[in-house]
Every structure is written in structure tokens, then in C-alpha cells.
């Protein structure tokens, strides 16, 4: 039983990272109606920036904060420079553009920082806490907690603030919103900035456990897409819940289903993606109620 | 066609025949790889141009074709050339499995599903390592089922080395598959059919890679290749058959070109991947696809619908 709790906590930690990336995918999909294949690489780039800052002697939390701010600005600017010119164009073209960004950022990471994994000093304690006779990793608890907190903040931002209302208006009916004086262009760019910032949190949280290297988020992106599909790529709530659930489910499968052998996580996620596509995404969760 | 327009293809044809005779086996082998990429890119262009869908998993379909060939030759003793149609069928069937759920929906979910396929192949190969040889793969060089082993192939009186033979085989199949792509794309077809044909093309390409290497393992076609191929197919959309051909050369030789740039580290994939990505971004930005995917610009120019 104690082992089970430890597996759940480990699953929640990686699930939190999937949840944040999935949230970013939902934000960009709702604003630009594209699958953003560069979401994972943007997170990795942010993680490298944070690592570089701490390597230059910064303390972890200031470096983390500056990285998230920089990522927001980067996402905002990225939208203006490369996404905006093709918005409303061929969907295949936009997807190929994000694939180009994936390759460019991945190559840039490897060029600047090398292809090998970096040693990342763990920001959280590696100690364990003992709850009900079981040893739980403090680091996993921190990771899951920070991911949950960030998801809640973004959720509240979308559901309760004027900015969130504007983002929803820009996403659901851009033409009408523009007539009503909503600055649609700036809001869509803000959504890209938010997605990059949320991704930055995911990247920084992931680097101690997943290993910081240019391909860190490659398969994780598939898990994030699976989680985001649970809500038809529209519902932030479903994406976050899906991310945590997927993390726990994959961890438990790994631990208790011998046949999985610890290697079959990507095929399981691939099968889930196909199943979700068959089951029609968007109809799984009521689309507009909580949706931002 | 004027005489000047015919001169270039004729010169290329002569070069295609002469090059493998004068070049080293290593260089000939790389030209054979270009041929395999060309076949995969033809498949992608079929889907991209007619179906407006892109596959980010053509490296995965290639791997399926390569595994089919490797397993049939190394484990079941089939002749390597005989496995090529089987490889096409296996990859095509996988294309159908991926296409059925993803192409029913509006949107570009085929890209996502194929990406999932490409990511899933290496772990599956590792899981079933009894069959696939796991991460080290299986070599079948010199086995009696290998047509080109030991220079035993004679073609029009010439004794060909293994590499010269696979080069000739690859480009002969590419030359045969090009008109077939042209025929398929001649008129409007169901997107699912295009996806299956596209995956089958990649399966043939992968099978040819395995025959050329007489070996296959997951590292032979890493995930980047899937993305490179999608990028190359995009470049290929912009200039008839020459675009697809150029794309195939870019996939094989861009790394060498980037290594020539002064002050760029020649080792490591970083700069090459960066340049590939930047090229793709620049291409999509410079000429938004929607405006330029016109039938006249497809690799099989001159079709009617």
C-alpha cells in the first residue's frame, strides 16, 4: 500500500508536467486553431535558460521567475513574428510552421548547450516525507503542487478576469469580438505568451527528473496532446485533469502491469490518442461550460 | 518540349548511370539513400498536395517497412527483393489504422496521429526484441537471401557491388513509382486512400534502406527523419519533380553543407536541425501554402482533374 501511494505521487509529479504542457496546447489551439508542435521545445528552451541563469550563480527562485517572464515575452513575440502572418491560412501550413519551430529550437538548444544531459541542481529537497508508513518523495510532491497551483492560477485568470473574458471572446468569435472593440490580435498573442510561460514552468519542473537535454520533451509532447484531447483541445480544465490522470495511469501501468516493461509508455499514449480521436474529442467533456 | 528543356533531364540520366561507376561505394550508398528519401517524399507530396494533410511519421512508416524486410529476410529466409511489396502492404495497413480515426475529423489530426506512430516505433521494437533485435537490430549482410552480397549481381554484363546494386534497385523503383504517383494524383481521391498510398511509399523506401544497409535498428531512422521528410516535402511542393528531388538531396546532404560554414561546429546535429527548421519556417512564411498549393506546382505537373 505504501508503494502504491509512492507510485501515485510520482505519477502526479510527471502528470503535472503533462497537465501544464496540455494547458499550453489548449491555449494555442483555442486562439489560433492549430496544433502547436513546438510547445514541448519551447518548454525545453525555457528550462535551458533557467539552468543557464542558475549556472551563472543566480538563486533558483529569481531565475525561475525571470525565465517565466522571458518565456511570456518570447511567446508573445513569436506569435507576432511567425504565427500572425499565416493565421487564417492553410491549417497544414500553420502546423508545418510549428514543426519548423520545433526543429529550429531543438537545433538551437543542441547547438548552444550540447546534446548531452545537463546536471540540474534540484531546487526542491530530495528527502522523503513519511505519511502513513510510506515514504513519499518531497520533490514529487513539490512538482505536483507547483503544477497544480499554476494550473489553478491560469484557470482563475481565464474564468474570472476581464483578460480571460477577452481571451474567450477572441477565441470563440474573433470577428464579432473585433467589432465590439476587443483587441483580438493582442489577446491571441497573449494566449501564446501564456502558453509559453506555462510551458516554461513545465520545463523547469521537468528538468531534474526527466533530464535536461534538447530532446527532453519529445515524447512528453505526445502525452500532453493525449491529455489535451480529453477536452477536445478546447477545455483547459479537462486538459489539466487529463494530464494528472494520464501521469498517474502511466505510472501505475508501469509499476503493476508486468507486460508494459517500463518501455511501452509512448505506444500506450499513441493508442489513447487514436481512441480519443475515434471517440470524437470535444464531446467527451462539455465544451463551453468551464472552458475559457 | 524544346531541345534545351530536354538537355537537363538527359544529362541527369547520364549522370545517374555514370556516377555509381566512378564514385566510391560510400558516396554511391548515400545517393541510394537519396533515392529512398525521394520515394518517401513522393508519398508525402501525394498526401500534402491532394489531401492537404501532412504526416509527421513517415520515418515511422519507413521503419515499419524496414523491419518487415529485415524480419522476413533474417528470420524467415525470404529473398530481400521479394519483401518490398510486403513492406509496402504492412506500412499501408499501418497508414490505414492511423488514418481511419484521424481523417474523419476536420483538422490536422493526421499529423498528430502519425507523430504518435513515429514516437512509438522504437519502444515497440525494444519490447519485441526477440523479433526485431531490440536497440541493436539484426544484420543480414552476406546471408544467402541477400541479392547483392559478394558482387553476385550481374546487370547488362556488368558485375555490380552490393552498393551499386542497391543504388540501381532504389532508383529503378523510384522511377517506377513516380508515374504511379502521377496517376493516383490525376484526379480527386478519398484522403484515406491517399494516406494509405503515402504510407506504402514510405514502406517501400524503408525496405530499400534495410536492403541497402543489410541491417536495421531504431537508430537507423531517428525521429528527426520524420520531421525532415515533412519539411523536405514542403520544399518539394514548390517546383514539380525537381522540388521533390531537391528535398531528398537536402535531407541527405544538408548536414554536410552546414558543416562547411565557417565557425559552425561540424560535429553534432544541432546546427543542421536548426537550419532545417529555419528553412521550413522561412518557406511557409515566404509563400503561404494555401496560395501556392496549386495543381500546377505539384511534383506531377500537368495533370487534369
Contact A102 B277 (CB under 8 A): yes
pLDDT of residue A90: 79
- Taking CA–CA distances from B224, the nearest residue in chain A reads A103
Whether the predicted pLDDT of B2 surpasses 60: no
Residue A212, SS3 per DSSP: strand
pLDDT of residue A286: 40
The cell for B132 is 526485431
pLDDT of residue B303: 41
Answer for the pair A269, A223: CB distance below 8 angstroms, yes or no: yes
Residues of chain A neighbouring B247 (CB-CB closer than 8 A): none
* Facing residue for B289 by CB, picked from A90, A102, A111: A90
- Taking CA–CA distances from A275, the nearest residue in chain B reads B101
Tens digits of pLDDT across chain A (292 residues): 668 888 899 999 999 999 999 999 999 998 888 899 999 999 999 999 999 999 998 999 999 999 999 999 999 999 999 998 888 777 888 899 999 999 999 999 999 998 888 888 777 766 777 766 667 788 888 899 999 999 999 999 988 888 888 888 887 777 888 888 888 888 899 999 999 999 999 999 999 888 899 999 999 999 999 999 987 888 889 999 999 999 999 999 988 888 877 788 999 999 999 999 888 755 544 444 333 3
Which of B129, B277, B290 would best serve as a mutation to test chain A binding (most A beta carbons within 10 A)? Answer: B277
Give the sign of the dihedral formed by CA A176, CA A182, CA A186, CA A190.
Answer: negative
The cell for A14 is 510527471
Answer for the pair A277, B101: CB distance below 8 angstroms, yes or no: yes
- Give phi and psi for A212, each to the nearest 5: -80, 105
Residues of chain A neighbouring B97 (CB-CB closer than 8 A): 274
Would you call B259 exposed, middle or buried from its count of C-beta atoms within 10 A (0-12, 13-18, 19+)? middle
Query: Is residue B86 very low, low, confident or very high in pLDDT (cuts 50, 70, 90)?
Result: very high
pLDDT of residue A115: 84
Which of A30, A86, A88, A92 would best serve as a mutation to test chain B binding (most B beta carbons within 10 A)? Answer: A92
Domains located in chain A, CATH noted: 2-278 (1.10.3470)
Answer for the pair A141, A129: CB distance below 8 angstroms, yes or no: yes
Answer for the pair A114, B268: CB distance below 8 angstroms, yes or no: yes
- Give phi and psi for A169, each to the nearest 5: -60, -45
pLDDT tens-digit readout, B204-259: 999 999 998 888 988 889 898 999 999 998 877 655 577 788 889 999 998 888 88
Q: How far apart are CA B184 and CA B204, in angstroms?
A: 17
Answer for the pair A189, A76: CB distance below 8 angstroms, yes or no: yes
The DSSP result for A114-153, as a single string, is -SSPBP---SS---EEEETTEEEEHHHHHHHHHHHHHHHH
pLDDT of residue B296: 47
Q: How far apart are CA B90 and CA B105, in angstroms?
A: 24
- Cell 549482410 appears where? B141
Three-state SS string over chain B comes to CCHHHHHHHHHHHHHHHHHHHHCCHHHHHHHHHHHHHHHHHHHHHHHHHHHCCCCCCHHHHHHHHHHHHHHHHHHHCCCHHHHHHHHHHHHHHHHHHHHHHHHCCCCCHHHHHHHHHHHHHHHHHHHCHHHHCCCCCEECCCCCCCCCHHHCEEECCEEECHHHHHHHHHHHHHHHHHHHHHHHCCCCCCHHHHHHHHHHHHHHHHHHHHHHHCEECHHHCCHHHHHHHHHHHHHHCCCHHHHHHHHHHHHHHHHHHHHHCCCCCCCCCHHHHHHHHHHHHHHHHHCCHHHHCCHHHCCCCCCCC
Residues of chain B neighbouring A105 (CB-CB closer than 8 A): 277
Answer for the pair B202, B58: CB distance below 8 angstroms, yes or no: yes
Whether the predicted pLDDT of B294 surpasses 80: no
- Residue B109 contacts A, CB cutoff 8 Å: yes
pLDDT of residue A2: 67
The cell for A134 is 510510506
Contact A99 B108 (CB under 8 A): no
d(CA A107, nearest CA chain B) in Å:
4
Q: Which residue has the higher pLDDT, A18 or B2?
A: A18
Query: Is residue B148 very low, low, confident or very high in pLDDT (cuts 50, 70, 90)?
Result: low
Measured in Å, how far apart are chain A's first and last C-alpha atoms? Answer: 38
Contact B101 A274 (CB under 8 A): yes
pLDDT of residue B3: 63
- Cite the DSSP H helix spans in A119-264: 138-160, 162-172, 174-179, 184-206, 218-229, 236-256
Q: What angle do CA A82, A87, A92 make, to 5 degrees?
A: 90
Q: Where are the domains of chain B?
A: 25-221
pLDDT tens-digit readout, A31-70: 888 899 999 999 999 999 999 999 998 999 999 999 999 9
- Cell 528552451 appears where? A45
In b/e form, how buried is each residue of A248-276, taking b as 16+ CB within 10 angstroms? bbbbbbbbeeeebeebbbbbbbbebbbeb
Q: How far apart are CA A40 and CA A50, in angstroms?
A: 16
Q: How far apart are CA A26 and CA A235, in angstroms?
A: 7
Mean pLDDT check: name the lowest of A221-225, B18-22, B125-129.
B18-22
Residues of chain B neighbouring A26 (CB-CB closer than 8 A): none
**What mean pLDDT comes out for the span B36-49?**
90
Supply the mean pLDDT for chain B: 84
- Give the percent of chain B with pLDDT over 90: 38
Contact A218 B119 (CB under 8 A): yes
* Facing residue for B289 by CB, picked from A93, A214, A218: A93
Amino acid at each position: 500500500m505504501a508503494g502504491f501511494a509512492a507510485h501515485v505521487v510520482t505519477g502526479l509529479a510527471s502528470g503535472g508536467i503533462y497537465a501544464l504542457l496540455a494547458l499550453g496546447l489548449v491555449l494555442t489551439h483555442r486562439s489560433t486553431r492549430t496544433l502547436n508542435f513546438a510547445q514541448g521545445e519551447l518548454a525545453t528552451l525555457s528550462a535551458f535558460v533557467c539552468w543557464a541563469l542558475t549556472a551563472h550563480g543566480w538563486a533558483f527562485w529569481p531565475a525561475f521567475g525571470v525565465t517565466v517572464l522571458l518565456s511570456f515575452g518570447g511567446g508573445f513575440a513569436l506569435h507576432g513574428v511567425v504565427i500572425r502572418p499565416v493565421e487564417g491560412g492553410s491549417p497544414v501550413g500553420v502546423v508545418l510552421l510549428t514543426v519548423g519551430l520545433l526543429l529550429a529550437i531543438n537545433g538551437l538548444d543542441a547547438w548552444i548547450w550540447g546534446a548531452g544531459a545537463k546536471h540540474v541542481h534540484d531546487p526542491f529537497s530530495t528527502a522523503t516525507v513519511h505519511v502513513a508508513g510510506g515514504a513519499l518523495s518531497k520533490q514529487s510532491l513539490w512538482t505536483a503542487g507547483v503544477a497544480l497551483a499554476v494550473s489553478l492560477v491560469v484557470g482563475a485568470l481565464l474564468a474570472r478576469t476581464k483578460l480571460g473574458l477577452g481571451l474567450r471572446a477572441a477565441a470563440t468569435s474573433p470577428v464579432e469580438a473585433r467589432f465590439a472593440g476587443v483587441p483580438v490580435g493582442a489577446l491571441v498573442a497573449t494566449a501564446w505568451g501564456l502558453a509559453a510561460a506555462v510551458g516554461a514552468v513545465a520545463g523547469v519542473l521537468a528538468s531534474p527528473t526527466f533530464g535536461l537535454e534538447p530532446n527532453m520533451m519529445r515524447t512528453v509532447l505526445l502525452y500532453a496532446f493525449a491529455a489535451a484531447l480529453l477536452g477536445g483541445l478546447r477545455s483547459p480544465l479537462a486538459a489539466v485533469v487529463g494530464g494528472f490522470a494520464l501521469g498517474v495511469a502511466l505510472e501505475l501501468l508501469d509499476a503493476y502491469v508486468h507486460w508494459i516493461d517500463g518501455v511501452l509508455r509512448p505506444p500506450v499514449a499513441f493508442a489513447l490518442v487514436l481512441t480519443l480521436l475515434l471517440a470524437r474529442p470535444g464531446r467527451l467533456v462539455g465544451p463551453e461550460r468551464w472552458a475559457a | 518540349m524544346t531541345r534545351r528543356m530536354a538537355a537537363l533531364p538527359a544529362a541527369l540520366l547520364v549522370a545517374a548511370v555514370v556516377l555509381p561507376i566512378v564514385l566510391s561505394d560510400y558516396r554511391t550508398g548515400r545517393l541510394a539513400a537519396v533515392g529512398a528519401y525521394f520515394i518517401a517524399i513522393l508519398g508525402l507530396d501525394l498526401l500534402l498536395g491532394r489531401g492537404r494533410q501532412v504526416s509527421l511519421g513517415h520515418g515511422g512508416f519507413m521503419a515499419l517497412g524496414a523491419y518487415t524486410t529485415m524480419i522476413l529476410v533474417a528470420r524467415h529466409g525470404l529473398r530481400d527483393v521479394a519483401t518490398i511489396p510486403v513492406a509496402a502492404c504492412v506500412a499501408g495497413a499501418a497508414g490505414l489504422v492511423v488514418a481511419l480515426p484521424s481523417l474523419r475529423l476536420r483538422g490536422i489530426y493526421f499529423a498528430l496521429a502519425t507523430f504518435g506512430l513515429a514516437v512509438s516505433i522504437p519502444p515497440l521494437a525494444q519490447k519485441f526484441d526477440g523479433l526485431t533485435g531490440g536497440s541493436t537490430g539484426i544484420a543480414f549482410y552476406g546471408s544467402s537471401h541477400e541479392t547483392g552480397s559478394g558482387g553476385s549481381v550481374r546487370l547488362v554484363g556488368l558485375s555490380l557491388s552490393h552498393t551499386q546494386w542497391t543504388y540501381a534497385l532504389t532508383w529503378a523503383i523510384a522511377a517506377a513509382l513516380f508515374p504511379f504517383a502521377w496517376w493516383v494524383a490525376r484526379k480527386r481521391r478519398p484522403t484515406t486512400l491517399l494516406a494509405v498510398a503515402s504510407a506504402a511509399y514510405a514502406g517501400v523506401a524503408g525496405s530499400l534502406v534495410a536492403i541497402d544497409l543489410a541491417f536495421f535498428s531504431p537508430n537507423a531512422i531517428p525521429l528527426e527523419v520524420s520531421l525532415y521528410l515533412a519539411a523536405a516535402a514542403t520544399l518539394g511542393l514548390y517546383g514539380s519533380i525537381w522540388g521533390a528531388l531537391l528535398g531528398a538531396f537536402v535531407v541527405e546532404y544538408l548536414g554536410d553543407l552546414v558543416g562547411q560554414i565557417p565557425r559552425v561546429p561540424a560535429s553534432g546535429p544541432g546546427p543542421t536541425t536548426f537550419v532545417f527548421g529555419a528553412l521550413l519556417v522561412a518557406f511557409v512564411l515566404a509563400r503561404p501554402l494555401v496560395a501556392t498549393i496549386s495543381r500546377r506546382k505539384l511534383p506531377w505537373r500537368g495533370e487534369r482533374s
